[in-house]
Structures are given as C-alpha cells and as structure tokens.
Amino acid sequence: MRSTLLALGASFIIGFSSVTATAQSSDVEVKDAWARATPGGAQTAAAYVTVTSPTGDRLTGASTPAAQKADIHSMSMDNGVMKMRQVDGIDLPAGQAVTLKPGGYHIMLTGLAKPLQQGQSFPLTLDFAKAGAQQVMVTVEKVGSMGPATQSGGDATGSGMTMPMHH
C-alpha cells in the first residue's frame, strides 16, 4: 500500500512538473514578427520581434527553414562605424517588452533558402532558457521597411514615422 502511494505521489509530481513547464512556455509573448523583403540573390536577411516575459527569461537562439542558419546579433554605432556581432542571448527582464529592431538586436538569417518576398511569411522558432521553444510566423514587409505594417503607431509603410504638419 505504501509503495503504491509513493508511486502515485511520484507520478503526480512528475505530471505537475510537466504541466508547469508547458505553462511557462506560454508565458512568453512574442508579437510583431517581421522581416524585410530581399532582392533576388541575397543570401542574408534579418528578422525582428517584440518579446515580453512576465517572469523574466533569456532568448538563447533561433532557427527557421527559411535559412541555413539563424543567429542572434547586435548592431551598434562606434565612432560613426556600424558594428554587428553575434551574441549568445538577450536577457528579457520580467514584464518588460524587448524589441528586436533595425539598428539593434535582430535574428540574422544566413543562407536563405529563397528570397524573402513582401506579403509572404515563414516560421521562426525562438529558444528561451526557461520557456523553451516557441514558434511564430514572420511576415515579410517591403524592402527598406522599419517595422511591421500592423504595428500600432506606424504608417502603412511600417516606418513608424509621424510627420508633423505646419501651417
């Protein structure tokens, strides 16, 4: 009887742990996943997303069938020179949205399977230290876009620019 109760208790704990892990992965919110269209023959592109983790986490990697390789990169200006480097992850402070965007952090896609064309989409799997893997669909915007066309506050080009009118 005692061994049966121990077995049931162990099963409950294991089952509860599995449920907890599954619930954690849904805690990370990923939105506004987008990329720019690429000219024919281009072998590289970048994908951008906004990630919010209520409990704090770390984005540790990415993968997609749209490219041979997907790495997390940072871009910065140093004395007027733009520098890009691969990073091993991005910390996601609890409750704070972290936006990967042009000129900053991004997912570098190398060895594109085919050019990215405006209006199409492709799957991107993001890996998180606590939440595990989460797949999102990346919408391809026009060449030169600065953000997703659906992003609040942006104009139809997704540039996010607002032009003041003076009379």
- The lowest-confidence range among 11-20, 73-82, 117-126 is 11-20
pLDDT higher at 155 or 46: 46
CB 87 within 8 A of CB 74: yes
Q: Which of 2-16, 86-100, 133-147 has the lowest mean pLDDT?
A: 2-16
The CATH-assigned architecture of domain 28-141 is Sandwich (2.60)
Asked if residue 33 lies in contact with residue 135, where contact means CB atoms within 8 angstroms, the answer is no
Sign of CA dihedral 89, 93, 94, 96: negative
Which range (2-11, 58-67, 100-109, 147-156) has the least confidence? 2-11
Higher pLDDT, residue 22 or 71? 71
Residue 145 clears pLDDT 90, i.e. is over it = no
**What pLDDT was estimated at residue 106?**
96
Banded model confidence at residue 68, pLDDT cuts 50, 70, 90 = very high
Between 22 and 60, the more confident residue is: 60
The pLDDT assigned to 162 comes to 30
Half-sphere exposure of 5 (CA within 13 A, CB side): 2
Check: CB of residue 124 under 8 Å from CB of residue 135: yes
CB 97 within 8 A of CB 52: yes
Question: What was the pLDDT predicted at 39?
Answer: 87
Model pTM score: 0.73
